[in-house]
Chains A and B, each alone.
Chain A
């Protein structure tokens, strides 16, 4: 019998705490597979955020740090600077990366730290119960924006990939999603390319993954996938924003 699919060694053998229909699980698998397939799992050190992925240190099958809210890029900097031979990545949500940790992510890109970041953008605070995120869409309801996000009050949703792509030290910036098998394949390709960049010592790389939050969006898992495609993708276009140049 031929094995056509098996669970990656990049993930531990435990049940996750994620809600049904949440795409964290898919992205965890892709990260685990990328670490395993690139042969860096044994020397990987990951940094988990504060937010829904706070327990990611229990799920990735490698050495892990749990960072304070938003500080994962700074923690990863400390690790990578003392252990340049290790593979260092952060896994962060939009509250963590795009709100409280904007300084840390901007400066990790600015210094061109040789680390990789997986950025989960689901346009809401999941763990704390559906509050408005900097990425919440205009008109989208949240517990702290009960009438929907109002541009005059809260500004427009922040586009982190576009912002980070303007920084010289960021060498790989791509936005993907995981709503269909086709998108999942593209997302994995982007994550592997981003990780390869670090292995080759070329600089900072980030993959933004548009993700669902059925629980706090108040939708079924299937409706959530549709809502993401109809509402998030038009505002947050998928695709590559930055690739290393020939001379990088």
Chain B
């Protein structure tokens, strides 16, 4: 298929439509507003619905209603708005409703700023809402991967009856790159026989619900959810790695930050350094096992993030104390430069830190 040049935020919309999503409920917030704008233009053309809700809280609850009625549905926001959606996300996880949620992150805390950041890693991977639940969290590094993950994300959501989050940042939302729309790998998707469509007098009522007042029932529900999460951990981990068998230093980075890291690695290689990279594509489930493949002589792991150190917790869990773990990050919308990363790697390599 021919490649088209698209802005990240608009490519998300095009990919969602490609995946059969005809319904979008959202609320404007920078730097993701091109996505609802795109959906407002395009969805009516295909008999779908775009609705601008009165708030992010209402938007995610509209998604809850639509997903419970059995359709593919999406919402998007950016960090402060995503904080508001957490109530609905927890309810959807509890009621096991599939949907795709896009967070184009900006700096925080509070109103923060509008420049790119990765400050919602904890919120996305630890559960920003209440209760023991997990989202499948996908972190694309370029616009093509963003498109691929949106399309596959709808399948993952339907296969496991679970919300899927796309965790991008302002950079990927705003950059333009050539993309093509490809068929995802074929999955065996279950019928949505649980959805509320009206009984038509042919079956017992379907109920979309996350309330279990009897503690033994709620525990049973949680055990079922945990079994599902274990299956996702076994089957859905995605990671890209480079030179981890040989690198004297291995860098862990995800999303757009990983591209800056790659530039730094090229520069270091030209100077004769051996540096590896682990780029998690799924932030949950996290590719812990990939870190076991790092060579024994590695001097340390450097985690690079656009925040003050959030994924570093997962890196430490992954290496189980085998290697020292270092951090480099910029925050507030400041983007790390390749030179800054090169300097940090040289410090680790030279035993300066």
Q: How many residues of B contact A (CB 8 A)?
A: 39
Q: In the docked arrangement, what's the CA distance between A86 and B200, Å?
A: 10
Contact of A78 among B64, B91, B199, B211 (CB under 8 A): B64
Minimum CB–CB distance for A174 against chain B, Å: 24
B66 to A81, Cβ gap below 8 A? Answer: yes
Q: Spot the interface stretch: B54-62, B273-281, B283-291.
A: B54-62
Q: Spot the interface stretch: A55-63, A201-209, A221-229.
A: A55-63
Contact of A104 among B49, B61, B201 (CB under 8 A): B61
In the complex, whether A19 has a CB less than 8 A from a CB of chain B is no
In the complex, whether A184 has a CB less than 8 A from a CB of chain B is no
B88 to A82, Cβ gap below 8 A? Answer: no
Interface digits, A155-194 against B, CB 8 Å rule (1 contact, 0 not)? 0000000000000000000000000000000000000000
In the complex, whether B342 has a CB less than 8 A from a CB of chain A is no
Cβ–Cβ < 8 Å partners of B206 in chain A: 63-64
Given A57-B207, A62-B205, A66-B207, A81 contacting B51 (CB threshold 8 A) = yes
A66 to B211, Cβ gap below 8 A? Answer: yes
In the complex, whether A196 has a CB less than 8 A from a CB of chain B is no
Q: In the docked arrangement, what's the CA distance between A59 and B156, Å?
A: 33
Q: In the docked arrangement, what's the CA distance between A62 and B197, Å?
A: 10
- Give the contacts of A64-92 with B (CB-CB under 8 A): 64-68, 71, 74-83, 86-87
Q: Spot the interface stretch: B68-76, B161-169, B171-179.
A: B68-76
A78 to B69, Cβ gap below 8 A? Answer: yes
Minimum CB–CB distance for A101 against chain B, Å: 10
In the complex, whether B65 has a CB less than 8 A from a CB of chain A is yes
Cβ–Cβ < 8 Å partners of B67 in chain A: 78
In the complex, whether A29 has a CB less than 8 A from a CB of chain B is no
Interface of B is mostly: mixed
Cβ–Cβ < 8 Å partners of B87 in chain A: 68, 71
Contact of B25 among A76, A78, A103 (CB under 8 A): A78
Which residues in A have some Cβ–Cβ distance to B below 8 Å?
12, 41-45, 47, 54-55, 57-58, 60-68, 71, 74-83, 86-87, 103-104, 106-107, 110
A66 to B210, Cβ gap below 8 A? Answer: yes
In the complex, whether B53 has a CB less than 8 A from a CB of chain A is yes
Q: In the docked arrangement, what's the CA distance between A86 and B70, Å?
A: 13
Cβ–Cβ < 8 Å partners of A62 in chain B: 198-199, 205
In the complex, whether B196 has a CB less than 8 A from a CB of chain A is yes
In the complex, whether B209 has a CB less than 8 A from a CB of chain A is yes
Output the residue of A68, A82, A107 with the most chain B CB within 10 A: A82
Cβ–Cβ < 8 Å partners of B197 in chain A: 45, 63, 83, 86
Q: In the docked arrangement, what's the CA distance between A146 and B201, Å?
A: 49
Given A42-B198, A65-B196, A79-B68, A103 contacting B54 (CB threshold 8 A) = yes
B205 to A68, Cβ gap below 8 A? Answer: no
Q: In the docked arrangement, what's the CA distance between A62 and B67, Å?
A: 18
Nearest opposing residue in chain A for B48, CB measure: A82
Cβ–Cβ < 8 Å partners of B69 in chain A: 45, 78-79, 82-83, 86
Contact of A79 among B66, B205, B213 (CB under 8 A): B66
Minimum CB–CB distance for B110 against chain A, Å: 21
A47 to B198, Cβ gap below 8 A? Answer: no
Contact of A65 among B59, B64, B201 (CB under 8 A): B64
A44 to B61, Cβ gap below 8 A? Answer: no
Q: What 9 additional pairs, Cβ within 8 angstroms, besides A43-B198, A75-B64, A81-B23?
A: A55-B213, A60-B205, A67-B91, A78-B25, A78-B69, A78-B73, A79-B65, A82-B71, A83-B198
A75 to B65, Cβ gap below 8 A? Answer: yes
Given A54-B211, A79-B68, A68 contacting B61 (CB threshold 8 A) = yes
The 6 closest A-B pairs by CB, nearest first: A78-B65, A78-B62, A43-B198, A74-B61, A63-B196, A75-B65
A65 to B199, Cβ gap below 8 A? Answer: no
